[in-house]
Structure 1
Amino acid sequence: MTSASIGALEPVAEIKFGQVGLANLKLKRLDPEGLAAELREKVASAEKLFLRTPVVLDLSHLSALPDVETVRDLFERIRASGMLPVGLSYGTSENEALSQALGVPVFAKFRAAYERDSEAAPVSRETPRPPSRAPAAAPTPVERATPPPPSASAPTSGLLHDQPVRSGQQVYARGRDLILNALVGNGAEVIADGSIHVYGALRGRALAGAQGDERARIYCQEFHAELVSIAGHYRVFEDIPADLRGKPVQVWLDGDKLLLKKM
C-alpha cells in the first residue's frame, strides 16, 4: 500500500475547540473534496451542534502553506457545509500575509489542547451569551475504566456558582476549577481551565481543561450533558452509553481517549 493510499484512509481534518466554543479545524492534508464531504456529514449528523459553528482554519500541519485561492476555496467549502469560517489559526508571518489577502484575522492564541497560555491570570467571569456550538474530531467509541487519582498539581481553589445556569448563559472559571451547586440547563455552557464539579443535573455543555490541562475532570450528579470536553477532546450526548444517562458520572482524559464512569 502506498503512502498516498494510507493517507486516504485517515480523516482529512481534526476539529478541536477553545473555551468559548470557537472551533479549530486542523487540516491534516490538502483534500478539499474530502474535507467538504466530512463537514457535510458532521453537520447532517448533529445540526444543532455544527450548523453555523464559527471555524478557525489551522494550516500549520500541512507540509506547505496553500496559496490564497486554494484557502479561499477551502473557506467556501466550509461555508457550504453550514459552518462559518472566521479566520486562520497561528500567527506566523506567512499566515499573516495570507490572512491579509483573505481579509480575515489570525487567531494566534487559540486555546486548544496543544497550545497553552501560561500567562493567564486566575480571574473569572460570568457572561450571558447565545448558545455556542462546538464541533470536534470524528467520534470514536467511548471507553469506561477505573480513573487514576487526580493530579496533586490540579487547581485547588475554585469559582463557586450557586445559581442555575440557564440556556444562553456561560460561566467560565479562568485558571481554576468551577463548582456549580445548581443545574446546568439545556443550551447553557460551563467552562473551566481546571475541573468542573456539578452538584446537580448537567444538561448543557461542560468544557474542562479549557487551556489544555489534560488532568482536568468533570464530575456531575445527574448526567444529561449535550457535550463534555476535556482539553479539546469531546463527546456528545448521542455517543454516551445509555446506562450512564441520568447517573452520577465522572469524565477524564487518558491520552486521546475521553473516559466516563459512574461514581
Structure 2
Amino acid sequence: MNAKMDTSDACDLRFGQVGIANVRIKRVDAAALCEELERRVRTAPQLFARAAVVLDLSPLLKLPDDGTVDALLEAVRSAGMLPVGLAYGTSETEALARRMGLPLIAKFRAAYEPADGDVAVAPASAPAPVREVVREAAPVEPAAERVASTLHHDGTVRSGQQVYARDRDLVVTGTVANAAEVIADGDIHIYGSLRGRAMAGAQGDTDARIFVHDFRAELVAIAGHYRVFEQIPKDLEGQSVRCWLEGEKLLLAKL
C-alpha cells in the first residue's frame, strides 16, 4: 500500500517591497568600487553592512564583458554588501543577467542616489523578509504638481514598517522607530521622535522639507541627497530640527 502523499503547500510565495540599494557603476574599476563601498560600510555599518544591492551598469557607454561584471560583483561582496541582481536596462543587459544567473530588477530605490561621485549608493536596510508597507493610493498627477492633501499617520511607525505618502506631504503624530522608514513626495512632519529614516521629496522635489520634534535619526534624505547618522551631533540630538536643501547640500538646523 502506497504511503499517502502530503498535498499541503510547501511554501507561501508573496511579493512585497524590500530594502534594496542601487549601485550605479560610472567607471569599470573593481578595486576602486570595493574601496568606495568599504568606506560606505565603515561609515554606516548598520545601514550598509550586508545590504542587498542592485548593480546598475546603465551609466557606462559600453556594457562590460561577463568576466568584468563578475569582478564587479565580487568587489561588492568583498566590501560587505550582497549583490542580488542587475538593474533593468537594454536587451543586452537582460542577456547578461541570464548568463550571470542573476535576476533583472526594474524597480529599486533609485530616488535616493547622491548626484556626484564615481559610485552612487542608495540607502537601504540590510536584507530582510518582506516588510510591512502602509500605502495610500492617489490619482496619477503631473510630476510638477503636488497634490494638496496630506497623509496623516497616527501612532508609532514600527521597526521594519514603511509609510509612503505618494504625491503628497506626510504628517506622523508618533515615533518613527529604529529601522522604520517614512517617505513622502512632499514634506515630512514628525510630531514625535525620529529614530529611523525620513526621506522627503522622493520624486525629486528639491523644495521639500523635513521637520522633526525629537531628532535621533538614522538617516534623512531630500530629493536624493542624504545624510547618515551613526552618532547624532550633540547640538541636534533630541532637539526640534528642520532639514532642507541648499543647492546640492543637505542642511540641518534647530527649529
Rg (Cα) greater in structure? 2
Aligned residue for 1:233? 225
Equivalent pair of 1:91/1:107 in contact (CA under 8 Å): no
1:75 CA drift (Å): 0.9
From 75, 84, 87, give the equivalent of 1:77: 75
**Within-5 A mapping of 1:17-166:** 21-113=19-111, 132-133=125-126, 153-166=145-158
| TM, length-normalised to structure 2 | 0.75
Give aligned pairs, total. Answer: 213
Q: Which residue matches 2:141?
A: none
Give me the whole-angstrom Cα distance separating, in 2, the residues matched to 1:155 and 1:217.
16
Equivalent residue, structure 1, for 2:160: 168
Aligned amino acid, residue 57 of structure 2: L
Residues 52-102 of structure 1, C-alpha deviations (whole Å, 9 max, x = no match): 111111112223211112111211221122211112223212211211211
1:195 aligned partner, one-letter code: D
Partner of 1:97: helix, strand, or coil?
Answer: helix
Gaps of 5+ in 2: 1-16, 114-123, 128-143
* Structure 1 position 235, deviation (Å): 0.5
Scaled by the length of structure 1, what TM-score is found? 0.73
Give the SS at the match of 1:44.
helix
Using the TM superposition, give the Cα deviation of residue 260 of structure 1 relative to its aligned residue in structure 2, in angstroms.
1.3
Instruction: State the secondary structure of the residue aligned to 2:37.
Output: helix
Partners of 2:65 and 2:74 in 1: CA distance? 15
CA contact (8 A) 1:166 1:185 kept: yes
1:114–1:206 distance in 2 versus 1, CA, 3 Å: closer
Q: In structure 1, how many angstroms separate the alpha carbons of the residues matched to 2:126 and 2:228?
A: 11
Provide the rounded CA distance (Å) in 1 between the counterparts of 2:88 and 2:203.
Answer: 15
Show structure 1 runs of 5+ residues with no match: 1-18, 116-130, 135-151
Distance 1:215 1:95 in 2: 35
SS of equivalent residue, structure 2 residue 235: helix
Q: Distance in 1 between matches of 2:31 and 2:83?
A: 17
Q: How many angstroms apart in 1 are the aligned matches of 2:248 and 2:97?
A: 31
Note if contact 2:30-2:72 (Cα within 8 Å) is conserved in structure 1: yes
What is the CA–CA distance in structure 2 between the aligned matches of 1:114 and 1:250, rounded to whole Å? 19
CA positional deviation for 1:38: 1.8
Residue 215 of structure 1 aligns to a residue whose secondary structure is coil
**Aligned: 1:193 with 2:169:** no
Q: Distance in 2 between matches of 1:212 and 1:99?
A: 29
CA 111–44 in structure 1, closer or farther in 2 if over 3 Å, else same: closer
CA distance in 1, matches of 2:175, 2:159: 11
The alignment partner of 2:110 has SS state of coil
- Structure 1 segments, 4+ long, off by >6 Å, are none
**Cα offset, 1:253, TM superposition:** 2.1
8 Å CA contact 1:220–1:250 kept in 2: the answer is: yes
Aligned twin of 2:208? 216
Deviation of residue 133 (structure 1)? 4.7
CA contact (8 A) 2:204 2:224 kept: yes
Paired with 2:146 and 2:50, the residues of 1 have a C-alpha distance of: 34
